[in-house]
Structure 1
Amino acid sequence: MLERTTTSVDGYRTVSHIEESDLAIDPNTDTDPSLTETLLASYAACYTVALRIGAQQRNVDGLGRVEIDAEADRDRENDLEAVREELHADVSIRGNAFRNG
């Protein structure tokens, strides 16, 4: 079971306690990320981890730095409308790591 606690004392600022860290989210400040910024970063983080898991499952040990540039469009209500991600990776692959069969 996965459980997390998120607290809001005043306004729109929330603090989520995750493991030994606190993640503060506030759409009304320049110091804390907004909800949509946090969601966009989560998309990129999930994709990065999935890429590393896929490489590991194919015995690719030459996957170095992975970087995702993510951007999103918002609609008139300020909700996410589209998300785009661009992948940058330092990769050194030898052998038949991505060969089927």
Structure 2
Amino acid sequence: MTDIQTTTVSEEGYASTSEVGDFELSIDATGEQGPDPNSVLVADYASCFLPAFRVGGSQRGFDDLGKLQIDAEADLDDDDDLTGIRFDIYVEADLGDEVDEVVSRAEDICHVHAALREGLHAEISVEDNAF
């Protein structure tokens, strides 16, 4: 039995449409008709890390972190392979000395973080009390 099932179709060219449950996601290797796969991976990583950060905060006694935002950047080599990812995380709440603990918990919780090779884990900086 599988836990996740998707269907991806490309009629022609380099664009494809993936069905994920009741949702559709358009991805284009050229970035012309939708985001390219590397951009989707970076956005997916950030989209996983953000709720993991919120849960990690809750586990460290911060029941309301307020607004959270991740600005993500990534580097590609000459073959367009991802070589580095960086997250700048902006947090409305003041985390004080607990910032590193919240990041550590988020890294443990985020499934995309766990799925990526260790050398590609995001470098993370956090600016709390940001909004």
Question: What's the TM-score once normalised by structure 2's chain length?
Answer: 0.64
Q: Which residue of 2 aligns with 1:62?
A: 64
- Distance, in Å, in 1 between the alignment partners of 2:55 and 2:89 is 15
Aligned length in residues: 95
Root-mean-square deviation over aligned CA pairs:
2.0
Q: Pick 1 or 2: higher relative contact order, CA cutoff 8 A, min separation 6.
A: 2
C-alpha change, 1:13 and 1:31, in structure 2 (3 Å) is: closer
Spell out, residue by residue over 1:59-97, the C-alpha distance to the aligned partner (whole angstroms, 9 max, x if none). 42221111001001110111111111110011167xxxx
Give the secondary-structure state (helix, strand or coil) at the position aligned to 1:63: coil
Gapped regions of structure 2 (runs ≥ 5): 96-100, 102-131
Structure 1 or 2, whichever has the larger Rg, is 1
- The residue number in structure 2 matching 1:26 is 28
Unaligned stretches of 5+ residues in structure 1? none
TM-score computed with the length of structure 1 as normaliser: 0.81
Q: Percent identity?
A: 35
Higher percent of residues as helix: 2
Q: Which runs of 4+ in 1 moved over 6 A?
A: none
Of Structure 1 and Structure 2, the greater strand share is in 1
